[in-house]
Structure 1
Amino acid sequence: MFKTDIENRIIKAGVMAIVRVENVERCQEIAEGCLEGGIDVLEISYTLPNAGDVIKFLNEKFGDKLLIGAGTVLDGLTARLAILSGAKFIIAPNFSREVVHVCNRYQIPYAPGCATVTEMTEVLEAGASFIKAFPISNFYGPSLVSVIKTPLPHMPILASGGINLDNLSTWIKNGVDCVGIGGLLTKGSRQEIALNAEKIRKIIDTTRSM
């Protein structure tokens, strides 16, 4: 899979589930619920000691049905280990030149956390595929996207934090490329996750078609 194919699949999905659970069986349940509801992109957080094992397991179990990436990747070594485990994209709360070099070497999309327009432009110049609006999405809400995209309409934005069923359509209307959602897509039974995923999928598709 080429880097541009991965980027396009992330944008097409418009949402990724942020997964922080240590048990692979629970990860499988979450993945199945997401797929049933129409969401096929998952970020596995490296706050977990076995994140690499989870990524490898999900890739072996679901193959191309899921696009699995690694989150909270703070350094180049972790990025390389995540890629070896099968991560198709790398996300972080911070920017690391070490990480962007590894990702660009292996043609893996990288989305580092940024809080200012200066940071955003600098990470794109360094080779990042997306900017992660973090933690500022929690504070500014959906208006953040239109504020950034008015002077920088081609800025690829992934927002994480403060996104829910009530404000998701506004995020999409304002031009966010993808959102990261945790609790709605990782808590409860497989059926509950599937129901939430279906609601999220419907909101994104309906809003985009307007």
Structure 2
Amino acid sequence: MKKVFIINGHQYYPFAEGKLNKSLIEKATQILGKNDFEIRTTTTEGDYSVEEEIEKFLWADIVFLQTPLNWMGVTWSFKKYIDEVLTAGMMGKLSKGDGRTAEAPKKNYGLGGLLKGKYMISVTANAPKEAFNDPNEIFFNGISEDDLLLPMHMNFKWFGLKPLKTFFAYDVMKNPDIENDFIRFERHIKEELIEKVYS
């Protein structure tokens, strides 16, 4: 049985109550549960024990982060979670520091991670799909979704986790297409978390 740790990184605002992020997590939980995954969850906006969260990372084969895109990154509640949980796990449980040694202080920076699993990021964003990967779009200037999420990818890499393909639900406030988002999300979960894990 594969073990997946699902993190709800949503931060409540009156104009963004978190219903879509919650619904995507419920959908993922339902699909994975039917496919013999053991599941543990955390909501970063709520209360949690730092030591228990570290144990969830150690326990999991897959870490699944569901988050809105918030000011071109993750929410402040998830950033606080990183600062508290991953920092506490950095010296011994989740990583052995920054990977460098006294013998080679200029090499292997960032390669001290002790985790052996994979991670997947799933994002709800107000930006339309067309805003990315197009050098004619002035704001993002041709960068991809994963370019925008590079700090999060590097954080997971720091602890030794390997990436699965990122999921994006686009334009969720101005021009939502939620029914199609759920169809794409279900296909994404099956392809990335079930077929790849069992292949």
- TM interval, short-chain normalised: 0.3 to 0.5
Q: Which has the larger radius of gyration?
A: 2
Point out the structure with the larger helix share: 1
With structure 2 as the length reference, what TM-score do the two structures score?
0.35
With structure 1 as the length reference, what TM-score do the two structures score?
0.34
